[in-house]
Structure formats: structure tokens, C-alpha cells
Amino acid sequence: MITINLPLIGEEEIQAVVKVMRSGYLTSGLGAGPEVTKFESQFAKFASAKHAIAVNTGTAALHAAVAAAGVKAGDEVILPSFTFVATAEAVVLAGGKPVFTDIDAETYNLSPRQVEKSITEKTKVILPVDLYGLSADMAPIREIADKHGLKVVEDAAQAHGLNYRGKPAGSFADAACWSLYASKNMTTGEGGVVTTNDDQTADTVRMVRTHGEKAKYASEMLGCNYRMSEIQAAIGSVQLERLPSFLEKRTQNAQQLTEILSKSAKLCLPAEPKDGKHNWYLYTVRLHRGSEAQRNKLLKELHQKGIGAEAYYVNPVHQMPYYVNNFGAAKLPETEKAANQVFSLPIHPGVSAEQVEFIGNTVLQLLSEI
């Protein structure tokens, strides 16, 4: 099976882990051991940010950043429903109310026009997602936020290596939240990072990370145990160095697959607007005018041929039972249409050119039968 994503772990990562284990220094009570501190410095430079705060998951990064933005009971946060559930979880964990808002039909990211319509006197934060590795349209979102006195927390979980108007993810946000899960463009196994240029936001995220403490046994606010281990950070430092080569191979694979699939009029291929450069975390196509049943049948047939195609996200968050029961029903036509038609194909760095050709030609063959 050609998997949809695959972590590339080599001897250098293994030796970095062994070095930490032999040192006996596996973690820090305040979350800032030598490997974590080193990784944070490297990641801040990578993201062109003043601060990078490493945590144990991308979900932790989201929760800490939303909390640092001051979200509390009664506050509303505008976000897409077409995302992994962690985006909404972070809002609820902080005590806020998620206000699900529709997406742009071409990029699958939060629509600035719909954001403007969703703002109320209770709105506190706008939470766009860089879906599939393409930046949300952050400039107009930033303008809307400034106009209404709102914070912007960017879900950059899938954003490693993209740029928007020549800048990395997070450049137009008050804070950006990155995931280092095993499927991402770089990984620490599990892990996350919050990047920000704001000193107060960084201080608050650090306190949330470690039980609300600035000093041990002296909690100043409600916090959690969101510390990144020294082992995770050691892996992250190596992966960050390897990221450019990962991105180059993803881009090559995406370009090759686009060349093949452009022969079919039955697919909408991934968008790359002039303001944004894709990092090709997921190569996501859309079955033009296709039904959910047709898409699902196509996925089943691809799996049977050894191609691990997947559909992200078949169940938009606003339709999940917990969110319907607690926050009411919403109607998001572009989100619901995309959820029924999109599917993603493997292009990670472990996929060879020969495999890309096989994937593309197999998709074309199956499309001809629809």
C-alpha cells in the first residue's frame, strides 16, 4: 500500500534520541530543557517569529494559544468546520463558543467574506486554518480582525513550508499553532509549537504549558501539562534541518501528479493562488460534479489497487454529534459540498516518481469508468 503519508526517520534522528537517553535528562519541570530550548530557537528562526514555545501536541498548541488570546466563557471564536476536530476542541476547552463559518470553494480555507458576516459583539478571536498546506487568505482576515478589535490565532498544523505573500505561516496572526504529528511534513512523533511576536502571549503560553507556573510550585493561572520532552525536541531539530529536502520532493511529486491528472475534466485540481505557495502536505483533488457515493467508490477502488487515498474531512465538525448537541445546527453549503467530493492522494517524500505515475494513471483509468 502506498500510504497517504509516512514519517521519514533516519539514523540521525535515532542517534539524537540515543544521545538524549544516555544523558539522563529526559524532560524539564518548566518545559525548557536544553534540547527543547535549542529546538525552539531553531523553529522561531524558521517561522520568522520572535518566540516559539514547544508543547506536546498540536492540540495543546491550539488550546494554549486560544487561552492566551483571552477566550473565556461567553466568548465566540470564528473558525471553519472543514478541519480536524482539534481546531474546535481548543475553543471549547478554553470555555469559548465555536462559530462555524463557511469556506472558499476553491481553496477550502475560511472565507473572509463569510467571516465578516459571522462577527457579533461576543466575537473574541478569528481562527483560520491553513488546510492541506495552503495558507488561508490572511491579509483580509487580519484587516477584519483589526477593524473589530479581534485577535487572530492561526491553525498552522499543516503549514510547515508554505508561504503567503512571501512570508511563513503566522506572519499575519497574533499566534500560530503548529503540529508535529507523525503525518506532518516534519515530525517529533507527537508535538506542537506556538509561534508569536507578542511577549505577553508567549509568557502566557509558557505558563499554560506547565501548570500555570513561571517558577516551580507557584501557579499564577490555570494551566496544563503540555511540556515537550527532550526526546521529541531532539528529533525535531533533525527533522527541521531535513525539511527543505522533504518539501522539494513533495513539490516535485505534486507537479508530476498535476501534469498527469490535468488530462481529466472530471477533477478539480489543487489551487495555488498568486499570494500563496503550497507546501503539499496533502494533494487534494475534487470530483467535479461528483456525488459522495461516487467519491467513496473511487476511494475503495484505489485502496484495492494499493493506493492509500483518503478523504479529509468527510464529517465536518459542525455536523458531529457533540457540536450539534451543544452549539446547535449550522448550514454551511460550501463546506458540506467539499466534504462529499474531495479526496487526497499520496505525494509524500517516500513516494517515487514511478509510484506517482502509477497513482495518476490509475486515477485516470478509474475516472473513465465513472
- Among residues 185, 204, 239, which one ends one of the domains? 239
Asked if residue 4 is part of any domain, the answer here is: no
**Which pLDDT value is given to residue 280?**
98
Pair (28, 47) in one structural domain: yes
Asked if residue 6 is part of any domain, the answer here is: no
Asked if residue 219 is part of any domain, the answer here is: yes
Pair (24, 154) in one structural domain: yes
Return the CATH number at 49: 3.40.640.10
Contact yes or no for 296/290 (Cβ under 8 A): no
Pair (71, 217) in one structural domain: yes
How far is it, in rounded angstroms, from Cα 338 to Cα 317? Answer: 13
Best CA proximity match to 370, nearest among 283, 257, 311, 293 = 293
Question: Which segments of the chain have a pLDDT < 70?
Answer: none
DSSP 130-189: -GGG----HHHHHHHHHHHT-EEEEE-TT-TT-EETTB-TTTTSSEEEEE-BTTSSS--B
**Which neighbouring-strand residues pair with 104?**
none
**Which pLDDT value is given to residue 116?**
97
Asked if residue 1 is part of any domain, the answer here is: no
- Among residues 239, 264, 285, which one ends one of the domains? 239
Q: Which range of residues forms the domain containing residue 350? A: 243-368
**Which pLDDT value is given to residue 370?**
82
**Which pLDDT value is given to residue 298?**
97
Pair (78, 184) in one structural domain: yes
Handedness of CA 216, 47, 173, 4 (dihedral sign): negative
**Count of domains for the chain:** 2
How far is it, in rounded angstroms, from Cα 261 to Cα 9? Answer: 30
Pair (77, 51) in one structural domain: yes
Pair (156, 299) in one structural domain: no
Pair (208, 262) in one structural domain: no
Asked if residue 336 is part of any domain, the answer here is: yes
Grid coordinates 488550546 are at which residue? Answer: 63
Asked if residue 3 is part of any domain, the answer here is: no
Pair (195, 281) in one structural domain: no
Tell me the pLDDT tens digit for each residue of 71-94: 999 999 999 999 999 999 999 999
How far is it, in rounded angstroms, from Cα 152 to Cα 199? Answer: 16
**Which pLDDT value is given to residue 211?**
97
Pair (275, 208) in one structural domain: no
How far is it, in rounded angstroms, from Cα 228 to Cα 192? Answer: 8
Give Cα 61 distance to the centre of its chain.
11
Pair (232, 252) in one structural domain: no
**Which pLDDT value is given to residue 263?**
96
Torsion of CA 161, 165, 171, 174, to 10 degrees: -130
pTM recorded for the entire structure: 0.97
**Which pLDDT value is given to residue 125?**
98
Pair (303, 339) in one structural domain: yes
Pair (211, 258) in one structural domain: no
- Among residues 239, 274, 308, which one ends one of the domains? 239
